Amino acid sequence: MAAQESPSPKYRRIADALKRAVAAGEFGPGDRLPGENELMARHGVARMTARQALGVLTSEGLAEARKGAGVFVRDFQPIRRRSVPRLAREQWGEGRSVWAADVPDRELVVDEVSVGEEPVADAVAARLDLPPGDAVIVRRRRFVLDGKPVLLSTSYLPAGLVANSAITRPDTGPGGVYARLAELGAAPARFREEVRSRMPAPEEADRLRLPAGTPVILISRTAVTADGRIVEVNEMILDSSAYVLEYDVDA
């Protein structure tokens, strides 16, 4: 019964097969996918079903229809950023990077990283519950996927808490910052993300190599311990064409 409870419709199964073929590299970026006629013949389905299957891939941004030519694998596949599993303690608690959860089959690489101690700026001080001017450890990183910069991340942590940990080093070790915070007795228990969007400032467009007319998504995340202490503020700037953010909310 439970196994039966959501039988997927035919077009969905065909779409899933196409997605697997794309993920396996059978069809690469820019390649033409099988057309409606071919899908009809191969799967013994009606034209409408074949069209729907292809429609799933285009509506999810994995492929694009070119008039009269067919449906082609998009050169750049959006990163599906699933907030619940990526921030779960099972991820970073077992030594995996929260970033690795975003692109299970591809490699999200940090190509620029700098870490330093700075006096905290007013806006961040307020969010970290720190007195103005207090020292923070600032970690600035740029993430690149398939050779394209997709994300700028600036993380602020109270220096009083983390100054003697690997958090002050470019490589923070297995599980990253959150695993190190846990070792310091300051494991995040919950996160709040604030999401906005706007056009990029010139230097942001430059660092993310954004085509004209591409907005950025801003995510401002605070990490809070079980006893309510704010231990990190992370300001992220994302190439909006590269990301879908996914959030699950209970009723």
Structure tokens at 237: 């700037």
Residue 10: CB minimum distance to a second copy, A: 9
Q: Residue 133: what are its φ and ψ, rounded to 5°? A: 90, -10
- Give the contacts of 134 (CB within 8 A, at least 6 positions apart): 119, 120, 125, 158, 159, 160
Structure tokens at 216: 């950025």
Cross-strand partners of 140: 114, 154
In the bound state with a second copy, the residue whose beta carbon lies nearer, of 31 and 194, is 194
The span from the CA of 190 to the CA of 192, in Å, is 7
Residue 213: CB minimum distance to a second copy, A: 5
Residue 7: CB minimum distance to a second copy, A: 9
In the bound state with a second copy, the residue whose beta carbon lies nearer, of 83 and 97, is 83
In the bound state with a second copy, the residue whose beta carbon lies nearer, of 1 and 69, is 1
Residue 226: CB minimum distance to a second copy, A: 9
Structure tokens at 88: 């779960």
In the bound state with a second copy, the residue whose beta carbon lies nearer, of 72 and 221, is 221
